[in-house]
Amino acid sequence: MRVLISVDMEGISGVTHWDHVTPNRSEYARFRSIMTDEANAAIEGAFNGGADQVIVVDGHYEGSNILMEKLDPRAKLITGSPAPLSMVDGVQNSDVALFIGYHARSGTPNAILDHTWSDRVRFLSINDREIGEIGFNAAVCGSLNVPIVFVSGDRAACDEAIDLLGKIETVAVKSAVGRLAAECLSINEAHQMIREAAARAIKQRPALFTFTPPLQVVVEFAHTGHIDRALRIPGTHRLSGTRIEFQSTTILSAYNTFRAIVAIAGD
């Protein structure tokens, strides 16, 4: 049993502010340690559930957040950026995937640090279905026949995951009362719940999350200048001042085109 654990940071226990997740900010060092500990809880749970191999991919910011010296030595770590499949790189050699520390998509009420890939992105849909990072990464995994069996994050992220993926295992480590405020579980309780849920999850085989080609992708940015720059990507078309669309024949090509559009759109 080969398990991929994709770890983001905004949905980690106790995170409520950009200072917690942004390098060189005052609280970042403390929370990258907490992020590593939460990844370790998922690793332990996966091995308790019968995993033979665990690969952890650091999926936040530039992919250099998890403290390798503190990570469970049984797991391998994919770190750095850009990786070929970004937040789910390593899924190519996995049987199931777990998402740890994930957040809700842009525009979700009562969701900690809600966004989709970047604060520049206000909306993302494929074939008229709105998605965020949970949905897009799950679709990449699904295209490679790997189901998402577990998601942790805030309550809004868990609700989004269930809505998209069905009744998979989830752990809500906090419940937001606004974008920058939440009621949080204790660290110990969050770790225990993640360990137990991860052990249960890897024995399950929920349905794959997929889209049927051709794929029409629509992205809305914060202002018109983002679109002005994003239109340099071949095959893109402007729908409005702040919306752009493109078509793809596979989810992997759509994923890579989206990443390129967000990168070239600038700040």
Residues with catalytic function: 115
171 DSSP 8-state letter = E
Concatenating the DSSP letter of every residue in 177-215 gives EETTEEEE--HHHHHHHHHHHHHHHTT--PPP---PSSE
The answer to whether 38 and 5 are in contact (CB under 8 A) is no
Provide the angle, in degrees to the nearest 10, between the axes of the packed helices 28-48 and 187-201. 40
Which whole-number Å values give the CA distances from 236 to 10, 24, 240, in the listed order? 30, 35, 12
CB 147 within 8 A of CB 170: no
Measured distance CA(204)–CA(192) in Å, rounded: 19
Are 100 and 5 in contact, with CB atoms under 8 Å apart? Answer: yes
